[in-house]
Chains A and B, each alone.
Chain A
């Protein structure tokens, strides 16, 4: 299996809702990532998990809460989001370490709209 699977593909939520984005990989990768991407912009790193531990948090607001239940799963819990948080949220995985990070396998993304 060489895929990273993300669900849902599309999500519309109000500013008071709580929702979660899910990501699963069975590539044996020990590093998993959340990126946020706005239209016509590059992916912007949010979080990195290495061996199920949070290793990088790019000063992301607390309304985004990541979770890594096991080596195959990565969640992003969303609460009290703002309209400006509307974006494509990309999950990725790779072999661990700085060199491993060169080769990311991305999921198809979850397109989030906050009303």
Chain B
């Protein structure tokens, strides 16, 4: 089966850099993705890694190491609006089943 572990909460200050880690166990690997969800809103796709290395999208970057079954989401120049829950996710084998981690609640303080 598939399982993912990520910290339950992280706190940082405006302007800082924060890293949210995710370790996973899968029976086959088809990619690691990240989603952001604001309170009361729906999840929105942030980033996806299929291969090892860093993917950069503006202030957000995502990293993957398949040999370590590990990835992280890096948020730079934190803003108050970045306060949200962040989920890592992996496909659960054939058929398009995306499994989400438990989520990391990020609080950005002034």
Contact (Cβ within 8 A) A99 B42: no
Contact (Cβ within 8 A) A101 B44: no
- Is residue B76 contacting chain A, with contact meaning CB distance below 8 A? no
Question: Which of B32, B42, B45, B87 interacts with A90 by CB under 8 Å?
Answer: B42
A45 / chain B contacts, CB cutoff of 8 Å: 97-99
Interchain CA distance A108-B41 in the complex, whole Å: 6
B89 to chain A, nearest CB (A): 8
B41 / chain A contacts, CB cutoff of 8 Å: 108-109
Contact (Cβ within 8 A) A99 B43: no
A102-B95 in contact given A42-B100, A43-B100 (Cβ < 8 Å)? no
Residue of A nearest to B28 (CB): A98
**CB interface residues, A 25-50, toward B, < 8 Å:** 31, 33, 40-45, 48, 50
A106-B30 in contact given A42-B101, A56-B96 (Cβ < 8 Å)? no
- Is residue B67 contacting chain A, with contact meaning CB distance below 8 A? no
Contact (Cβ within 8 A) B30 A102: yes
Residue of B nearest to A107 (CB): B42
Instruction: Give the tally of cross-chain contacts (CB within 8 A).
Output: 75
Interface string of A86-115 (1 = CB under 8 A from B): 000010001011111111111111000000
Contact (Cβ within 8 A) B45 A104: yes
- Is residue B102 contacting chain A, with contact meaning CB distance below 8 A? yes
- Is residue A20 contacting chain B, with contact meaning CB distance below 8 A? no
A98-B91 in contact given A45-B97, A56-B97 (Cβ < 8 Å)? yes
B49 to chain A, nearest CB (A): 9
Contact (Cβ within 8 A) B96 A106: no
B96 to chain A, nearest CB (A): 4
Contact (Cβ within 8 A) A90 B43: yes
A102 / chain B contacts, CB cutoff of 8 Å: 30-33, 48, 50, 89, 91, 98
Question: Which of A42, A97, A109 interacts with B96 by CB under 8 Å?
Answer: A97
Interface string of B9-28 (1 = CB under 8 A from A): 00000000000000000000
Interchain CA distance A101-B41 in the complex, whole Å: 20
